């Protein structure tokens, strides 16, 4: 994320820590990514669902889990005027499931949904970790087996490829097994940690009481040897879970996707029930996860719906955009440009009034034309400077001479061609040809 220069004076209200303004130069990259996502997800049969930012607090407590970091200390929760507790959504899966149940979309049906928008977590802000951040999420309901998991992963791999990020992002996989399996594993892991309690750090001792499996993804280098020797969830999976995981790995290998099985990948949300995965990068420092998800077959029922298998993921848009900006050189030619094709120089009040009308005629005739008009006064020299700074290829000019002849002058600002005077129809044809080049 580009650092925004802020003006600090006493009277200016500053943005909230961890919540960013996304300025036009960067938002064009967001739009480019969003266009790819929209087209790709549609092509795989996913429909967009638009969800509220605010939900009842209970929804997140019941789904994400009371003992998770998100629910324990990261939610923006407040009471409304009637004393009801609401929370700004910290993620999209819970409210997507809530909406799918409430709108009768799940009973005996399959649904493939995606969403995009801001999420809110009260975390310690740093590069790649914000308090308002943006996720694009995908949830597939009603599908059992590993094919849908493989397809979701292949869809994201295709996206990385289209965005020019394929060489920067790698896939990690694990299976957490069914809840009963995980329960057994948790007991074994807790027993192991208790035997080694003297070697745990303070954070892990705290997690041991609240959410012990999270110790597994501790980044503390001093804990790595201890974790290396800890019991592994793979040894606890039942035959069905094991086979599913083997089949998934097989499909991915067949499809040419490289991955690493990471037994320490446990995820920070409680609802997962099988395969989990993360796409990670080395290029964003500590905040390496750019996309994460997995299977959560019990959540629909836990939130009051009929039992429905489900699997999905969410990608962190802020991190993806940072990655793209870091490799801006290789991507620049693919990004949409905000530079106008033409800049209208209008000298004097009468020329301005005439120019606005002509600009409209040009826009009607050439819908792809990006045309800026100078509506800010100034002499020819200052307007030419603005035209040049805008990056426009052409300056269109109306001064006294053009006004009297009902013509427009066109000057190529980038190549050394003599300027020409056109009537409106000839100018439309000239610009049409230039836009095709």
3-state secondary structure of 419: coil
Residues 297 and 178: their CA atoms lie apart, in Å, by 9
Judged by beta carbon, residue 319 or residue 341, the one nearer ligand HAM is 319
- Residue 126: strand pairing partners: 129
Rule CB under 6 A: say whether 91 interacts with ligand HAM: yes
Which residues, 25 to 84, sit near ligand HAM by CB under 6 A? none
Residues 128 and 370: their CA atoms lie apart, in Å, by 33
Vertex 145, ends 140 and 150: CA angle to 5°?
Answer: 70
Judged by beta carbon, residue 159 or residue 387, the one nearer ligand HAM is 159
The answer to whether the beta carbons of residues 383 and 374 sit under 8 Å apart is: yes
Site string for ligand HAM, 99-138 (x = CB under 6 A): ----------------------x-x----xxx--x-x-x-
Question: Given 3-state DSSP classes, what are the helix, strand and coil percentages for the chain, each rounded to the nearest 5?
Answer: 45, 20, 35
Rule CB under 6 A: say whether 93 interacts with ligand HAM: yes
- CB of 271 vs ligand HAM, minimal distance in Å: 8
Rule CB under 6 A: say whether 169 interacts with ligand HAM: no
Judged by beta carbon, residue 91 or residue 151, the one nearer ligand HAM is 91
- Binding piece for ligand HAM, criterion CB under 6 A, among 40-48, 289-297, 362-370, 373-381: 289-297
Sign of CA dihedral 143, 146, 147, 148: positive
* E strand map for 225-370: 259-261, 275-281, 289-295, 310-316, 342-346
- CB of 77 vs ligand HAM, minimal distance in Å: 16
Task: Dig out the tokens for 52 from the structure.
Answer: 């509220």
Which residues, 137 to 156, sit near ligand HAM by CB under 6 A? 137, 139
- CB of 318 vs ligand HAM, minimal distance in Å: 5
Neighbours of 434 (CB within 10 A): 16
Residues 303 and 320: their CA atoms lie apart, in Å, by 31
Number of residues that bind ligand HAM (CB under 6 A): 28
The answer to whether the beta carbons of residues 323 and 284 sit under 8 Å apart is: yes
Rule CB under 6 A: say whether 244 interacts with ligand HAM: no
* E strand map for 142-274: 169-175, 259-261
The answer to whether the beta carbons of residues 222 and 202 sit under 8 Å apart is: no
Rule CB under 6 A: say whether 292 interacts with ligand HAM: yes
Judged by beta carbon, residue 320 or residue 397, the one nearer ligand HAM is 320
Rule CB under 6 A: say whether 305 interacts with ligand HAM: no
**Binding residue (CB under 6 A) for ligand HAM from 65, 177, 212, 312:** 312
Judged by beta carbon, residue 2 or residue 405, the one nearer ligand HAM is 2
Judged by beta carbon, residue 249 or residue 311, the one nearer ligand HAM is 311
Residue 316 has φ and ψ, to the nearest 5°, of -85, 110
- Binding piece for ligand HAM, criterion CB under 6 A, among 39-47, 101-109, 288-296, 321-329: 288-296
Task: Dig out the tokens for 8 from the structure.
Answer: 């600090």
Rule CB under 6 A: say whether 318 interacts with ligand HAM: yes
Burial class of residue 221, CB neighbours in 10 A (0-12, 13-18, 19+): exposed
Nearest to 317 by CA among 340, 291, 297: 291
Residue 35: its H or E element: helix 24-43
Rule CB under 6 A: say whether 274 interacts with ligand HAM: no
**Binding residue (CB under 6 A) for ligand HAM from 249, 290, 345, 410:** 290
Rule CB under 6 A: say whether 289 interacts with ligand HAM: yes
- CB of 25 vs ligand HAM, minimal distance in Å: 20
- Binding piece for ligand HAM, criterion CB under 6 A, among 159-167, 185-193, 287-295, 327-335: 287-295
Q: Which residues bind ligand HAM (CB under 6 A)?
A: 91-93, 121, 123, 128-130, 133, 135, 137, 139, 268-269, 289-294, 296, 312-316, 318-319
């Amino acid at each position: 994320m580009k650092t925004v220069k802020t003006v600090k004076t006493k009277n200016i209200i500053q943005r909230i820590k961890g919540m960013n303004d996304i300025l036009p130069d960067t938002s064009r990259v967001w739009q480019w990514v969003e266009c790819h996502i929209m087209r790709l997800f549609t092509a795989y049969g996913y429909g967009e669902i638009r969800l509220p930012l605010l939900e009842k607090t209970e929804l997140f407590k019941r789904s994400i889990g009371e003992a998770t970091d998100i629910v324990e200390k990261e939610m923006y929760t407040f009471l409304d005027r009637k004393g009801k507790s609401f929370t700004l959504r910290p993620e999209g899966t819970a409210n997507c499931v809530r909406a799918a149940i409430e709108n009768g979309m799940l009973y005996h049906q399959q649904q493939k949904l995606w969403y995009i928008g801001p999420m809110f977590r009260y975390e310690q802000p740093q590069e790649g970790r914000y308090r308002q951040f943006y996720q694009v999420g995908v949830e597939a309901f009603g599908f059992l087996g590993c094919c849908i998991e493989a397809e979701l992963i292949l869809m994201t791999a295709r996206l990385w490829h289209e965005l020019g990020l394929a060489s920067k992002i790698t896939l990690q996989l694990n299976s957490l097994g069914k809840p009963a399996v995980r329960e057994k594993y948790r007991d074994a892991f807790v027993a192991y940690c208790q035997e080694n309690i003297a070697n745990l750090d303070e954070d892990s001792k705290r997690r041991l009481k609240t959410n012990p499996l999270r110790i597994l993804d501790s980044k503390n280098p001093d804990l790595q040897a201890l974790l290396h020797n800890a019991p592994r969830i793979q040894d606890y999976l039942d035959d069905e879970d094991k086979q599913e995981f083997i089949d998934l790995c097989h499909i991915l290998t067949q499809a040419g996707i490289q991955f690493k099985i990471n037994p320490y990948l446990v995820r920070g949300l409680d609802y997962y029930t099988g395969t989990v995965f993360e796409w990670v990068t080395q290029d964003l420092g500590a905040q390496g996860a750019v996309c994460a998800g997995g299977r959560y077959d019990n959540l629909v029922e836990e939130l009051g719906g009929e039992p429905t298998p489900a699997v999905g993921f969410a990608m962190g848009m802020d991190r993806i955009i940072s990655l793209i900006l870091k490799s801006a050189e290789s991507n620049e030619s693919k990004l949409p440009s905000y530079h106008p094709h033409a800049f209208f120089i209008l000298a004097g009040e009468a020329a301005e009034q005439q120019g606005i009308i002509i600009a409209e005629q040009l826009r009607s005739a050439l819908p792809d034309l990006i045309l800026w008009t100078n509506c800010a006064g100034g002499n020819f020299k200052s307007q030419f400077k603005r035209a040049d700074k805008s990056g426009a290829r052409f300056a269109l000019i109306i001064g006294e001479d053009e006004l009297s002849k009902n013509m427009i002058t066109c000057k190529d600002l980038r190549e050394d061609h003599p300027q020409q005077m056109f009537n409106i129809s000839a100018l439309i044809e000239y610009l049409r040809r230039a836009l095709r080049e």
